[in-house]
């Protein structure tokens, strides 16, 4: 079966119909769920989770704990390979080519963007980089999975024949149930569905109507009916400007089919914390009870809710009875269970249990070696990321070089680059290698002093060298510091030695 001809209207229309089918919407909802939890928009998902266990009135009366975001903390801890900028080396390039390359990485804020890509990779188990000329630079955009669709290649369903970028309408297709919340619960989520002149959440709706299509041969923009917005143009670099990075086996399809366990764990913990917090609150209140023939119009007490037990006017001696046996919830045991669940989950992800703790004690390393061991634990959790992102780095370099070379002689228009990025074309023979930075020992002040003192005793460094190493300064500055110290101590040059 051949790949579809996306220049034909009937093929485009068929693709759009498939994009808007429930199966694809469910995929995007699931991806959006993880994305929302990382962006600290997990409140509605916790409320939705609780609504499966309790009726809506009970849920509305609960004390929500939605401000503790474990998802972001765990994902950030796993996504550590760009915490320190990697070392890149370029070979078979001239000085002007090297300057051009270094500016490309600088102007695109490449390391910052790759740090985001590492986060999406661990959050959603897959990430795609989109690299195009934009805003007078070569722009690197990490794409979350809900922001695009793919037409798989007919000969290899794990690869893309075409990418289709389209703005996902987060509000109209929200995974959480539609509910009315007070202003306290809104958390900047209120939406009147109108794209106003001021900046608001609906600014993206103008883009929602458009879809940008890329294949190796051409690119174009179309509306949601499949009509072209402008004319298709030839793909100037001859390949799609996307890099797919998947965390795991694809099982003969483009998107990795794995659950977002980190986001789901964050929602589950928010649910449990809310349940425990509500139980703890309710233990502090007694239940008000009223006996009367007629129902009172309005009575409020400690906890706002009183029970009315109606009396029979014909038999006043027959008083209805209310019995309530308090379960006396064991709050400490519940909190201990939360800590156990947290430890088990962190261990299953290869992280130290001190990454997150409910004990109220920070784990402070007593030495640089202990700090190094803690960092090694984190980097071991990211070893699989190294090989994956080395491949991404090489592919990204190739795309930036292709776009840079294509745009060198363009002086105006959307594809024009900043003059600092039009220094030189880059040869196809240029090679790039990357080395990610592992952990390094961070010595405490006491350790540094002890080590330098030992060197002084052995006579292998001078006082000046000791100051240079301790303060990490130049020789001239070290001499100035020596002079200032001697002056404060009232020592002559001869006495200072």
Measured CA to CA, the distance from residue 105 to residue 89 in angstroms comes to: 12
The verdict on 256 and 311 lying in the same domain is: no
The verdict on 63 and 174 lying in the same domain is: yes
The verdict on 451 and 403 lying in the same domain is: no
In a domain, 235, yes or no: yes
| Residue-wise pLDDT tens digits, 439-459 | 665 566 777 888 888 888 888
Q: Give the position of tokens 């046996």.
A: 325
pLDDT grade for 286, boundaries at 50, 70 and 90: low
The verdict on 97 and 225 lying in the same domain is: yes
pTM over 0.85: no
In DSSP terms, 151 is beta-bridged to: 162
pLDDT grade for 299, boundaries at 50, 70 and 90: low
The verdict on 300 and 411 lying in the same domain is: no
In a domain, 368, yes or no: no
In a domain, 347, yes or no: no
Give 290-297's long-range contacts (Cβ < 8 A, gap of 24+): 291/319, 291/320
Per the structure, the complete domain to which residue 485 belongs is given by 445-496
Measured CA to CA, the distance from residue 445 to residue 447 in angstroms comes to: 5
3-state secondary structure of 214: strand
Q: What mean pLDDT comes out for the span 303-316? A: 69
| Residue-wise pLDDT tens digits, 75-127 | 988 888 898 899 999 999 999 999 999 999 999 999 999 999 999 999 999 99
| Residue 223, token pair as written in the block | 């509306």
In a domain, 369, yes or no: no
The verdict on 402 and 320 lying in the same domain is: no
The verdict on 320 and 454 lying in the same domain is: no
In a domain, 357, yes or no: no
Q: What total of structural domains would you count in the chain?
A: 3
In a domain, 61, yes or no: yes
In a domain, 84, yes or no: yes
The verdict on 426 and 451 lying in the same domain is: no
Under a CB-based contact definition with an 8 Å cutoff, are residues 36 and 45 in contact? Answer: yes
Q: What mean pLDDT comes out for the span 394-404? A: 97
Percent helix, percent strand, percent coil in the chain, to nearest 5: 45, 15, 40
The verdict on 47 and 143 lying in the same domain is: yes
In a domain, 450, yes or no: yes
The verdict on 394 and 305 lying in the same domain is: no
The verdict on 413 and 316 lying in the same domain is: no
pLDDT at 173: 43
| Alpha helices for 56-202 (secondary structure H) | 56-60, 70-78, 95-107, 110-124, 183-186
| Alpha helices for 309-428 (secondary structure H) | 331-348, 368-380, 383-407
| Residue 123, token pair as written in the block | 């959050």
| Residue-wise pLDDT tens digits, 269-279 | 888 888 888 88
3-state secondary structure of 126: strand
The verdict on 170 and 310 lying in the same domain is: no
């Amino acid at each position: 079966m051949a790949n579809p001809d996306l220049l034909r209207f009937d093929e485009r229309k068929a693709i759009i119909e498939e994009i808007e089918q429930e199966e694809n919407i469910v995929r995007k909802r699931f991806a959006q769920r993880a994305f929302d939890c990382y962006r600290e928009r997990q409140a509605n998902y916790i409320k939705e989770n609780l609504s499966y266990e309790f009726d809506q009135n009970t849920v509305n009366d609960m004390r929500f704990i939605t401000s503790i975001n474990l998802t972001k903390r765990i994902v950030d801890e796993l996504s550590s390979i760009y915490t320190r900028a990697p070392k890149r080396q370029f070979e078979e390039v001239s000085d002007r080519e090297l300057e051009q390359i270094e500016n490309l990485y600088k102007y695109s804020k490449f390391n910052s963007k790759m740090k985001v890509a590492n986060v999406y990779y661990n959050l959603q188990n897959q990430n795609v980089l989109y690299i195009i000329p934009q805003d007078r630079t070569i722009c690197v955009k990490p794409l979350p999975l809900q922001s695009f669709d793919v037409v798989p290649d007919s000969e290899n369903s794990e690869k893309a024949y075409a990418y289709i970028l389209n703005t996902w309408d987060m509000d109209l297709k929200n995974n959480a149930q539609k509910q009315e919340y007070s202003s306290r619960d809104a958390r900047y989520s209120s939406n009147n569905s109108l794209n106003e002149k001021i900046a608001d959440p609906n600014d993206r709706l103008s883009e929602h109507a458009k879809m940008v299509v890329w294949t190796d041969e051409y690119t174009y923009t179309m509306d949601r009916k499949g009509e072209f917005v402008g004319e298709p143009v030839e793909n100037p670099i001859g390949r799609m400007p996307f890099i797919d990075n998947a965390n795991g086996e694809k099982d003969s399809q483009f998107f990795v089919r794995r659950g977002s366990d980190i986001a789901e764990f964050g929602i589950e913990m928010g649910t449990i914390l809310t349940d425990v917090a509500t139980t703890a609150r309710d233990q502090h209140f007694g239940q008000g009870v009223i006996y009367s023939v007629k129902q009172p119009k309005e009575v409020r007490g400690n906890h706002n809710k009183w029970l009315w037990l109606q009396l029979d006017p014909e038999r006043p001696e027959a008083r209805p009875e209310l019995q309530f046996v308090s379960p006396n919830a064991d709050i400490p045991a519940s909190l201990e269970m939360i800590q156990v669940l947290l430890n088990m989950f962190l261990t299953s992800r290869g992280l130290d249990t001190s990454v997150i703790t409910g004990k109220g004690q920070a784990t402070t390393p007593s030495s640089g070696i202990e700090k190094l061991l803690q960092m090694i634990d984190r980097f071991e959790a990211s070893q699989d990321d190294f090989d994956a992102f080395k491949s991404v780095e090489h592919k990204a370099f190739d795309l930036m070089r292709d776009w840079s070379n294509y745009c060198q002689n363009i002086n105006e228009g959307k594809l024009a680059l900043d003059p600092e990025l039009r220094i030189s074309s880059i040869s196809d023979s240029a090679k790039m290698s990357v080395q990610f930075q592992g952990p390094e020992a961070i010595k405490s002040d006491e350790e540094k002093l002890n080590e330098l003192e030992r060197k002084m005793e052995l006579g292998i460094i001078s006082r000046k060298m000791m100051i240079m190493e301790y303060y990490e300064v130049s020789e001239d500055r070290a001499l100035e510091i020596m002079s200032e110290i001697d002056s404060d101590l009232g020592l002559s040059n001869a006495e200072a030695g």
